[in-house]
Structure 1
Amino acid sequence: MRNLFILPLLFFLVQTTKQSKDLDWWETTIFYQIYPRSFMDSDGDGIGDLNGITSKLEYLKELGVGATWLSPMFKSPMYDFGYDIADFYDVHDEYGTMEDFEKLIAKANELDIKIVLDFVPNHGSNESVWFEEALRGHEKYFDYFVWEDGVVDENGILRPPNNWNSVFRKSAWEYREEVGKYYLHQFVIGQPDLNYRNPDVVEEMKNVLKFWLDKGVAGFRVDAISHLFEVDKAKFDGMYPDEPLSGNKIEDPESYDYLDHIYTKDQDETYDMVYQWRDIFDEYKAKDGLTRVMMTEVYASPDVTMRYFGDGEREGAQMPFNFVLITDVDGSSSAAEIKYAIDKFLTFKPIDKLANWVAGNHDNSRVASRFSPELVDGINMLVLLLPGVAVTYMGEEIGMVDGYISWEDTVDPSGCNTDDPINYWTASRDPERTPFQWNAQKNAGFSSADKTWLPVADGYETLNVEVQQATERSHINVYKALARLRTEPAFRHGRYESVAFNSDVLAFKRWHNGETYVAVINFRDEVYNLDLTYFENVTGQLEVIVSSVQSPKSSGDVVEADGVQIEARESIVLKVVQ
């Protein structure tokens, strides 16, 4: 009985301490992801750039955004559009110069917007100086990469060392005659994996972090972190072993999902590397008091994801990304399934850590396409008002939809590597990367070029920032209202409770120091009459604070708690009237 009493008491003490302390900048802000190639083109070449981002920072400020994460803008041959980095210390020329980046930092500082960069530690580029030197036999740089001898089959043909497959399909090994060996690339051929069992690589990548921290960035989103280490082949007689079959119903042996990646993902050494990087971040904070934030990209089970927070003795990432609103649910999900997905991260996370909410990014279909255009406001309510940190992918604030990209226009290697002009779209990430829709002018105001790097999505003439800013009932104005509401104590410090009233309607309550809010989201076309007195202390009259674009209710309207009619696809935030 004694232990049963102590655990709730400890929970109360931790929560009380958390609520009473001043929150750090990253704990309260909204992170806004920008895909630089598609955000704003300042020089008319059809490709977004750094000066374009700088010119639109006021837009982020108006949204209520306090930090922006930029997908890679480093020097790259662009086989994977920036995730194949040739020089970790320089800016890609299509995006601008180092001087342009410094101007971006300066402007962001004026507006009190933090800049977070993408850190891509798993691999480099086969056009980098490092790789070119490796091919010339330079021992230091040869050991920067993962090499292995091939295997000669019964017909005398040289084959890859084992059955490992690339995330983008086909073998993860590529032969180079210059050295007579295969190199590992867990992604495209142009992305050779770096060898983290080499102390020189570990030190080099720490220097990359320090270089950009010295430039004034406030943190990093760490790409593909789960792939960082491969199994130590010394444990397997010096040969990398085959990976077992996944057991999935997949007929293509070249598919990534054909195998169970027990030797190329989630190795124990990966977590220690994250903790070492966090030590660097904390060293910078010790100098000037500013927290540098780390966000890690891991699509994994909750128990694996939580290890990125730390091990109880050492700190790791402040934000191991929570992808449940992308991977676990979609427009076909019931309210109960959505509640289950939300509760999962909150249940698994350490009690003294914050959750985070992500509903879209450059690798996944947009919210309006994955759920429905009518649910854009409802999903944004979840992202911005659930307890924890909010992350928005550019365009989700206006409800952008996936663009149609023909096989001829497809450039994403994930789509191209299918070698399938019919079903390529199921693997391509181009549809969610189409240019940002600013207005109804040429190329949606993104660029003055005759041709943009990807076609602008259909319907931009009416679905754009300018139209929505001029329309009282619009996704962007709902988003701004939610961003303002997010600053209230009930959402910064408040407790949380949720319920699926039925298969279609999810509601959650946030409360703090006598102020109580209830958000209600109807995921279907049915109309329901709800008794919100289910929630403790939710009685009497409720005031409408925010309502979705198709809601018949307006801000300031009053409803009775025991009989709230929720319309088809309606989303609302209500406040208990004192």
Structure 2
Amino acid sequence: MELATLLTFLLLAIGHGEGCQLQSSTSETVKDWWQTAQFYQIYPRSFKDSDGDGIGDLNGITSKLEYLKDLGITAAWLSPIFTSPMVDFGYDISDFFDIQPEYGTLDDFRALIKRAKELDLKIILDFVPNHSSNESSWFVKSVNREKGYEDYYVWHDGKVNATTGAREPPTNWLQYFRGSAWQWNKERQQYYLHQFAVQQPDLNYRNPLVVDQMKRVLRYWLNEGVSGFRCDALPPLFEVLPDAEGQWPDEVVTGATEDADDRAYLTTTYIENQPETIDMVYQWRTVLDDHKRIHGGNSSVLLIETYSPAWFSMQFYGNRSTEGAHLPFNFNLITVMEQKGLNASNVQEAVDLWLKNMPAGRTANWVLGNHDKRRAASRYGKEHIDAMNMLVMVLPGASVTYQGEEIGMTDGEISWEDTVDPWGCNSNADIYEQYTRDPERTPFQWTAGTNAGFTNGSTTWLPLATDYETINVEKELSDDRSHLKIYKALVALRKSSKTLQNGSTKYEAITGDIFVVQRSLANSATIVGVINFGSVAVTVDLSQFDKNRTESLQLLIRSIDSTKVEGTRYDPKTLSLDPAEALVLTTE
């Protein structure tokens, strides 16, 4: 698409402004689909309910695929849809080869895949390799020591207290959801390891039978037509090997908290980020590549959830001889801001942490939120949601959007009585808000009508966020300007601009509040993003950032409260920015 045509489209999408002739790119690099993709995370339970039971489902997702197509999404990633007791809402899987009845059937899933392919949308599934449900037939067989399943999970006799004679857990390790990571099983008369809830026993990846079984899971769903997997919770996949006596070491107290049940109370040196985890990801990549080699078609993508430090996360990409994950998720725009707050300097630190550590020839990615973190508009501030969406669309590589970020959804308010997340339920009424993930999982807001258009039933599985009457898809599509229209314009620009797909990247916090990112490509228009994270108006001189920047810049996209006009040209030496204003501009 010519940039002049694109500008016209963007202005129509935003609902304001005039078109203008822009220079088109003459340079092009062929990239695989995932390298510049817009990934969209769907939390199925909260996306769209088709049968009135107040729980989102597969047919609901299928009914809204055209919405994703209209957004410009490349691939939808579905949080777990497999058979589960729903202790952890799908992340405790009892059957990796079938669909949770609340969500539908295999035929419903196949219908979803068929419709997605008709719309040229890709479907990615959540792969949960670290553990199963304790209701899985695998675990039941392991409890009974059935042949082939004896060591399917991590079992241990525990220790005997020399003073009391009581049997105790083998180590002091803590689970993510508070408390000991060990649970005594009366039938087997041993402890099993669970780094998440008691009902989520850890699989034993030092057992080749487990490794083979989980590869079968990948192949099964590839054969059903999925385009890849997001791999959940990789850091705890392996624990260190026990010593010659079969004992593991205790973790050390960190001093970070006085709460002895909180995982942060101890280090995780022995239960996270082991080298065997890297090798396992390489093996899964081989499964995906072999499937393409045998069956043809497009590449299947491997996305990795890891909140690990850069020295570990970057190894997931692969090495000189072996391919690894296509995209280890980059959470720096979440974690750095959580630790230090949102300003331009901290944004630069977050971007540096990835781009300056990423191996050569690999693809970056940018994540603002997910089902485990407070919604982006609540964490960054509603006034900054457009700016953050601009940032992830202008930076190089792939973007990942959690459902609702495109319309500026905020956290719901969940009482202790309504709390269902096991992380919150394992605490108490005084502290549950520190742990519960329910606020970011409230039902998607489609309309201002009954139950936000999420269900035609009388109830919803979680209470709606209270602002659904003003923040919803229907309203934002009809408004002259909205977060949704700005998001659509950003995706359209990113999909059509060779500069954003292939250009070089320069970025800098030119002050503590002002962040600038510039994308350049020979024989193509330069794209510049400028964000004021501060609370006061400022005038910036972009020639400080790029000494060759003397010509005026034309405005393409602006944040919702900006009073500037798309299509207008601005002097880069005296560019005024209101508080929280964010702009995407271009050269002619």
TM-score normalised by the shorter chain: which range applies?
Answer: over 0.9
Letter in 2 for 1:267: Q
**How far is the alpha carbon of 1:236 from its aligned partner?**
4.5
Question: Is 2:489 the counterpart of 1:481?
Answer: yes
Q: Which residue of 1 aligns with 2:431?
A: 423
Aligned match for 2:231, one of 222, 225, 228: 222
Q: Does 1:377 align with 2:400?
A: no
Partner of 2:262: 255
**2:32 corresponds to 1:32:** no
2:248 to 232, 240, 245: 240
Relative CO higher for 1 or 2, CA cutoff 8 Å, sep ≥ 6? Answer: 2
For 1:456 and 1:145, locate their aligned partners in 2 and report how far apart those are by CA, in whole Å. 38
Aligned to 2:284: 277
Aligned length: 556
1:526 pairs with one of 536, 543, 567 = 536
| Partner Cα distance (1:236, 1:164) in 2 | 20
Q: Confirm whether residue 542 of structure 1 aligns to residue 553 of structure 2.
A: yes
Verify: 1:512 aligned to 2:521, yes or no.
yes
Q: 1:83 aligns with which of 77, 91, 111?
A: 91
Q: Which moved more, 1:494-503 or 1:315-324?
A: 494-503
Match of 1:315 among 311, 314, 323: 323
Structure 2 SS opposite 1:139: coil
Give the fraction of aligned pairs with identical amino acids, expressed as a percent: 50
1:329-344 paired onto structure 2 within 5 Å = 329-330=337-338, 332-344=341-353
Within 1, Cα distance between the matches of 2:319 and 2:241? 22
SS at match of 2:315: helix
Task: Point out the more displaced range, 494-503 or 360-369.
Answer: 494-503
What displacement does 1:20 show? Answer: 5.1
Cross-structure match for 1:11:
none
- Are 1:105 and 2:113 an aligned pair? yes
Distance 1:78 1:389 in 2: 31
- Aligned AA (1:533): S
Q: Aligned match of 1:264 in 271, 274, 278?
A: 271
Any runs of at least 4 consecutive aligned residues in structure 1 with deviations exceeding 6 A, and if so which? none
Look up the SS of the partner of 1:142 in the other structure: coil
The answer to whether the Cα contact below 8 Å between 1:540 and 1:562 also exists between their aligned partners in 2 is no
Q: Quick one: which amino acid aligns to residue 417 of structure 1?
A: N
Aligned residue in 2 for 1:179: 188
What secondary structure, in the 3-state scheme, does the structure 2 residue paired with 1:486 have? helix
1:161 aligns with 2:174: no
Residues in 1 aligned to 2:260 and 2:36: alpha-carbon distance in whole angstroms = 46
Structure 1 residues 432, 271: closer, same or farther in 2, change over 3 A?
same
**Cα distance, 1:334 vs structure 2:** 2.4
Give yes or no for contact 1:47–1:94 (8 Å, CA) kept in 2.
Answer: yes
C-alpha distance in 2 between matches for 1:427 and 1:327:
16
Higher mean displacement: 331-340 or 286-295? 331-340
CA RMSD in angstroms comes to 1.2
- Residues 263-284 of structure 1, C-alpha deviation per residue, up to 9 Å, x if partnerless? 1111111111111111111112
How far the C-alpha of 1:554 sits from its partner, in A, is 2.3
SS of aligned partner of 1:328: helix
Partners of 2:394 and 2:517 within 8 A in 1: no
Shift of 1:536: 4.1
Q: Match for residue 553 of structure 1?
A: 564
Show the 5 A alignment for 1:439-458. Answer: 439-458=447-466
CA displacement at 1:537 relative to structure 2? 3.4
**SS of corresponding position for 1:397:** coil
Q: Deviations over 1:19-76 (max 9, x none)?
A: 8541111112200000000000000001000000000000000001010100000000
Match of residue 10 from structure 1: none
Matched, 1:123 2:110: no
Q: Secondary structure at the match of 1:221?
A: strand
| Rounded Cα–Cα distance in structure 2 between residues aligned with 1:215 and 1:536 | 53
Specify the code of the residue in structure 1 equivalent to 2:578: E
Instruction: Report the counterpart of residue 18 of structure 2 in structure 1.
Output: none
Unaligned runs of 5+ in 2: 1-26
One-letter code aligned to 2:542: L
- For 2:470 and 2:261, the matched residues in 1 are separated by 42
Distance 1:44 1:289 in 2: 37
**CA deviation after TM superposition for structure 1 residue 445, in Å:** 0.5
In structure 1, what is the equivalent of residue 371 of structure 2?
A: 362
- Residue 572 of structure 1 is matched in structure 2 by 583
How many angstroms apart in 2 are the aligned matches of 1:54 and 1:272? 36
3-state SS of paired residue (2:313): helix
TM-score by length of 2: 0.93
Alignment deviations for residues 114-145 of structure 1 (CA, whole Å, 9 cap, x no partner): 00000000000101111112223313223211
Distance 2:82 2:550 in 1: 55
Cα gap change, 1:69 to 1:547, in 2 (>3 Å): same
2:529 maps to a residue whose letter is A
SS in 2 for 1:140: coil
Residue by residue over 1:235-284, the C-alpha shift from the partner in whole angstroms, topping out at 9 and shown as x without a partner, is 34211221222x23311222211111111111111111111111111112
| Shift of residue 332, structure 1, vs aligned partner | 3.1
User: What is residue 75 of structure 2 aligned with on the other side?
Assistant: 67
Residue identity matched to 1:524: G
Distance 2:275 2:351 in 1: 27
1:194 is matched with which residue: 174, 191, 203?
203
Task: Tell me the secondary structure at the aligned position of residue 201 of structure 1.
Answer: helix
The letter for the 2-side match of 1:428 is T
Question: Does the 8 Å CA contact 1:284/1:290 hold for their aligned counterparts?
Answer: no
Task: Kindly indicate whether the alpha-carbon contact (under 8 Å) linking 1:434 and 1:456 is maintained by their aligned counterparts in 2.
Answer: yes
Q: Hey, what's the Cα distance between the residues in 1 that align with 2:431 and 2:154?
A: 33
Task: Confirm or deny that 1:432 pairs with 2:440.
Answer: yes
Provide the C-alpha distance between the structure 1 equivalents of 2:168 and 2:236, rounded to a whole number of angstroms. Answer: 23
Equivalent in the alignment of 1:46 = 54
Does structure 1 residue 500 correspond to structure 2 residue 509?
Answer: yes
User: SS of the residue aligned with 2:337?
Assistant: coil
Q: What TM-score, normalized to structure 1? A: 0.95
Does the 8 Å CA contact 2:29/2:502 hold for their aligned counterparts?
A: no
Q: Aligned partners of 1:21 and 1:369: how far apart in 2?
A: 37
The one-letter code sitting in structure 2 at the alignment partner of 1:276 is Q
- Paired position in structure 2 for 1:347: 356
